[in-house]
Each structure stands twice: as C-alpha cells, then as structure tokens.
C-alpha cells in the first residue's frame, strides 16, 4: 500500500484484525504441538508470524499505529531473547522506513501550501522520499540559496488517522500488553493521544527545533539542523548527514556505541537545562552519529545529530529538582526522606501506606547506572528489570501497583525509560553519573554547584569496562553465538 488509508472503516478493520490474528496463531500453535512439534520450535514460529503481521500493519497504516509501533520499538530490549529475535528486525525496519505517499499527493500538498510556483523555491527536489515517519515523510532537496535541506510533508488526513488509530488500539491494549513485560500499554496509548495536536502543528515543531538549533549551534557534541521554512503541513530544515543510530545498534564498534550512548544521555539531561524543552521522542530513527570533518576521525570526536522535535515537554525551569534530590537521597540510602518526598510529590497517594525501606529496595536496582562511575547498559539488564517489576509473584510488582505516577511526570518518565531502552540496544558503556552531576537539578548538594564543568565524554573507560548490569556485552555475544 502506497498511500495513507484514511477511511475510518478501513483502518479500523486492519487494526481489529490484529488481536484476531494473535488468537488464530495461538490456535495454530496448539494444533502444531498436538501434532508432535516441540513447543520451542512452534513458539518461535508463532512469535515470528506475530511480529511480521503486527509491524506490517503498523507500518502500512502510518498515523497513530506507526507512532505506537515506534514507541514500542525502544522497549524491545525488555523482551526475553528467545522472543526478541524475530521482533528486532521488524522493529528496526519500522524505525527507518514505511510505504511512501504517491508523488502526486506530495506535489498536491506542496502546491496547496507553498503555492503553484513551489518548485522555484528549490534548485533540486527529490520525489523519492528519504525517510518516513508516523505523520509525514521527508524529501531531500536543495533550497534556492544552495543549502541542502530536508522537506517534511505531512500526510493528508494524518490528524484523523492518528486519533482513530489510538482510539482503536486502546480498545485492545490488554491483548498487546504481553509484547512488553512489565509495561502498562494503555497509559502509553493515552499519553500518545494527548500529544497528537502538538505533533500535527509544524509551527510548534519549528519553534522547538530552532530553539535547540540556536542553543547547540557551537556545541562540540550535539548538532541540531536549523529551520529554513515552515508553513502548515510543510517543514523545511537543513539536511543532516550521518550514520543512523539503528546502524550503530546493528553494526557499530564498541567505541561508536559508547560515544553515541554518552551523547544521548548528555542530550537527555542537558536539553531541558539549556532550552527549557525535553525532546520527547527518543527512538533510534531520530538520531544520527556524525563523523565530523573526516569519516576516519576517532569515535571520541563524533557528534550526535538530533532530529524531529514534533513532541517535546515544555519545562521552562528545566527538569524538576525533586527528581535529582530523590535520586541522590536514594543512592545515599535515606529511605525515610525519599519516601516523604515521594508522598509530597504524589507518587504515593494519601490513602496508601508503604514501608520506606521496601520502597528504597524497589528503587535501588533501577538506578544502578547512577551508582557507579561508568555503567554498561545491556539487554540482559533491561530484561532483568522488566521481569522483576512485571512478574506478579515479585514483591517489586506488588509494590509498583501501589505507586502512582503524577501527570506532570508522565512524559519525563516515558522519555527516560525510552532513552534507557535505546542505551540497552546500543550496549553502551556510559558515564551517567557525570551527566547527572552536570545537568540534573538537585542531584548535587547546593554547596557544589551543578554544571560548573562539563564532563569529559571522551574519557576512557576502565579496562574492565566498568560496572555492568545483568550481563556484560561480551556475555551477550557468547549467548547469541551459543
């Protein structure tokens, strides 16, 4: 399918077929097992077929369906390896590609929004899209002043499609829940729906992107393309060449992975402090690793390119200091103080009474990366956390059910989890504590001002490659080749 299916009945039918397909394959699997095939072999085939159908439908529909798929994609690290395998290829494909709009539709949008003489604005315009996203696709072009640019064109009917998809997906959220153990799917869909109007407004996106482009204009580590032109349904920005983060995840060297991970963490925490905005769509398709002046330059000199500012959280005072303060007190083992702050901020409702020591025990494994100088994020560590929190038999699961996530922290929470998911996909060793000390309000006591000196992201990692989670990267390689 080459166009965005806009009729509600067509999109609803496609999405409604997903849970029916899941059920049908489960029946097929049961029949195969009764026929004598091993449960393991049948299970792998079942997962493969499920992955193929799910992401084929989400990719074709674009809109909210594809947005949901992209949000899920950063959490594939939490899936058990025997399940993650067949999903990983489909997820990566979804992050970087989708069926394009017909050229005639693209030209019609440009004519309507830029005028009949829109071609005069460009020295060159490539009709074949360079990339596709959930509500629009990007074409490479040369602006009339000679600058290489990216032209984002919004799909006609994208707004209606987004709302329709997310409403439909929310109806069978429970059936989709097993895709990511330990994650409640319905609040994710609700939060994505709440962001629809902002993402459709290219004016808001242009403002957010330009604010970042100006702030990071001379930054040695992060690059954001400047906005060239914006109007309804069309956004033109400077072109950004680089290695997609999905390629670094698939084939990058250890040095490239570490550099990308360090800069990703730096951007997550420094962005709100420097711009008052939090980039809220951290999936691999929105990042590039830029080799700089020479492709042969050492990885320590590469920069992080950041794209797509359609979804941002507006934090004029930066990240809330309570996050940094709670994190510091948790690391210091101050159970009573941490619990009191969680109560004050609404993470524990007045009607709930919890044991402060149990809360501390619940939090410490999650913040393990901040306990050490350098931490290697791995899929194994992510799976361990997902299992601990997602297993109904686990004390952590029972405690998590009694905690509350205040609306003001919802997007920050999702962005942080998503970024950690990408770091685990990278298998990056990151000096996370350096970034927290430099940029997280409240993490450093007031007598030690934060941000005075920027951490050296090129600092060498100790020979033992630092403290790791459940598995080190080498152990995962052994697992995959076993």
pLDDT in tens, 55-97: 556 555 555 555 566 555 555 555 555 555 555 555 555 544 4
With CA atoms as reference, report the closest residue to 366 among 395, 407, 330.
330
33-47, 209-223, 238-252, 338-352: which has the minimum mean pLDDT? 33-47
Whether 412 is covered by a domain: the verdict is: yes
CA–CA distance from 33 to each of 27, 46, 162, 231, 421 (Å)?
Answer: 10, 12, 39, 57, 34
Whether 274 is covered by a domain: the verdict is: yes
- What is residue 394's predicted lDDT score, i.e. its pLDDT? 86
| Residue 259, burial from CB neighbour count under 10 angstroms (0-12, 13-18, 19+) | buried
- What is residue 99's predicted lDDT score, i.e. its pLDDT? 61
Tell whether the model's pLDDT for residue 465 goes beyond 70. no
Whether 449 is covered by a domain: the verdict is: yes
Tell whether the model's pLDDT for residue 220 goes beyond 90. yes
pLDDT tens digit string along 425-448?
999 999 999 999 999 999 998 765
Whether 352 is covered by a domain: the verdict is: yes
For residue 258, give its domain range: 243-482
- What is residue 413's predicted lDDT score, i.e. its pLDDT? 87
130-139, 165-174, 348-357, 378-387: which has the minimum mean pLDDT? 165-174
The total number of structural domains that make up the chain:
1
Whether 138 is covered by a domain: the verdict is: no
For residues 18 and 53, is the Cβ–Cβ distance under 8 A? yes
pLDDT band, residue 227 (cuts 50/70/90): very high
Q: What is the mean pLDDT of the chain?
A: 78
What is the average per-residue pLDDT within 323-330? 96
Higher pLDDT, 262 or 383: 262
Tell whether the model's pLDDT for residue 407 goes beyond 50. yes
Tell whether the model's pLDDT for residue 464 goes beyond 60. no
Distance CA 449, CA 293 (A): 35
pLDDT tens digit string along 252-292?
999 999 999 999 999 999 999 999 999 998 888 899 999 87
Whether 30 is covered by a domain: the verdict is: no
What is the average per-residue pLDDT within 282-311? 88
- What is residue 479's predicted lDDT score, i.e. its pLDDT? 45
pLDDT band, residue 183 (cuts 50/70/90): low
What is the average per-residue pLDDT within 187-202? 74
- What is residue 237's predicted lDDT score, i.e. its pLDDT? 98
Give the helix/strand (H/E) hosting 296: none
Whether 454 is covered by a domain: the verdict is: yes
Share of the chain above pLDDT 90, in %: 46
- Assign 3-state DSSP to the chain and report helix, strand, coil percentages, each to 5: 55, 10, 35
pLDDT band, residue 202 (cuts 50/70/90): very high
Tell whether the model's pLDDT for residue 113 goes beyond 50. yes
Tell whether the model's pLDDT for residue 231 goes beyond 90. yes
pLDDT band, residue 50 (cuts 50/70/90): low
pLDDT band, residue 474 (cuts 50/70/90): very low
Tell whether the model's pLDDT for residue 181 goes beyond 80. no
Distance CA 45, CA 25 (A): 9
pLDDT band, residue 25 (cuts 50/70/90): very low
pLDDT band, residue 9 (cuts 50/70/90): very low
Distance CA 352, CA 361 (A): 18
Q: In the 8-state DSSP scheme, what is residue 17?
A: H
What is the average per-residue pLDDT within 455-477? 45
Whether 392 is covered by a domain: the verdict is: yes
pLDDT band, residue 43 (cuts 50/70/90): very low
Higher pLDDT, 271 or 26: 271
Question: What are residue 122's phi and psi, to 5 degrees?
Answer: -120, 140
């Amino acid at each position: 399918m080459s166009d965005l299916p806009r009729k509600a009945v067509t999109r609803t039918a496609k999405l409604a077929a997903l849970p029916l397909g899941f059920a049908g394959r489960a029946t097929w699997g049961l029949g195969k097992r009764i026929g004598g095939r091993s449960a393991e072999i049948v299970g792998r085939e079942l997962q493969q077929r499920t992955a193929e159908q799910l992401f084929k439908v989400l990719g074709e529909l674009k809109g909210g369906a594809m947005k949901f798929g992209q949000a899920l994609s950063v959490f594939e690290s939490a899936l058990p390896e025997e399940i993650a395998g067949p999903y990983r290829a489909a997820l990566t494909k979804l992050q970087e590609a989708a069926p394009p709009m017909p050229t005639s539709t693209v030209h019609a949008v440009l004519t309507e929004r830029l005028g009949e003489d829109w071609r005069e604005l460009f020295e060159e315009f490539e009709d074949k899209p360079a990339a596709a996203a959930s509500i629009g696709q990007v074409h490479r072009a040369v602006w009339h002043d000679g600058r290489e640019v990216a032209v984002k064109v919004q799909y006609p009917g994208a707004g209606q499609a987004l709302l329709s998809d997310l409403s439909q997906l929310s109806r069978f959220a429970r059936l989709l829940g097993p895709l990511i153990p330990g994650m409640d799917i319905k609040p994710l869909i609700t939060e994505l729906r709440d962001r629809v109007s902002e993402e459709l407004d290219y004016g808001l996106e242009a403002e957010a992107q330009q604010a970042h482009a100006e702030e990071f204009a001379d930054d040695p580590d992060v690059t954001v393309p400047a906005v060239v032109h914006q109007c309804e349904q069309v956004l033109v920005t400077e072109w950004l060449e680089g290695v997609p983060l999905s390629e670094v995840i698939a084939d990058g060297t250890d040095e490239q992975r570490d550099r990308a991970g360090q800069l990703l963490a730096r951007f997550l925490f420094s962005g709100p402090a420097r711009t008052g905005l939090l980039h809220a769509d951290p999936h691999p398709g929105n990042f590039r690793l830029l080799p700089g002046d020479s492709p042969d330059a050492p990885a320590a000199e590469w920069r992080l390119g950041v794209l797509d500012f359609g979804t941002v959280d507006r934090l004029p005072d930066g990240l809330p200091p309570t996050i940094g303060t709670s994190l510091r007190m948790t690391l210091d083992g101050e159970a009573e103080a941490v619990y009191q702050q969680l109560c004050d901020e609404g993470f524990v409702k007045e009607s709930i009474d919890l044991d402060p020591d149990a809360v501390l025990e619940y939090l410490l494994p999650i913040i393990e990366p901040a306990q050490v100088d350098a931490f290697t994020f791995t899929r194994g560590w992510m799976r361990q956390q997902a299992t601990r929190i997602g297993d109904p038999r686990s004390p952590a699961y029972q405690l998590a059910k009694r905690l509350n996530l205040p609306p003001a922290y919802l997007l920050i929470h999702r962005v942080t989890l998503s970024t950690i998911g990408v770091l685990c996909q990278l298998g990056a060793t990151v000096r996370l504590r350096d970034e927290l000390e430099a940029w997280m309000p409240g993490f450093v006591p007031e007598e030690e001002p934060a941000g005075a000196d920027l951490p050296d992201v090129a600092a060498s990692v100790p020979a033992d490659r630092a403290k790791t989670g459940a598995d080190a990267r080498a152990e995962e390689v052994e697992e995959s080749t076993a």
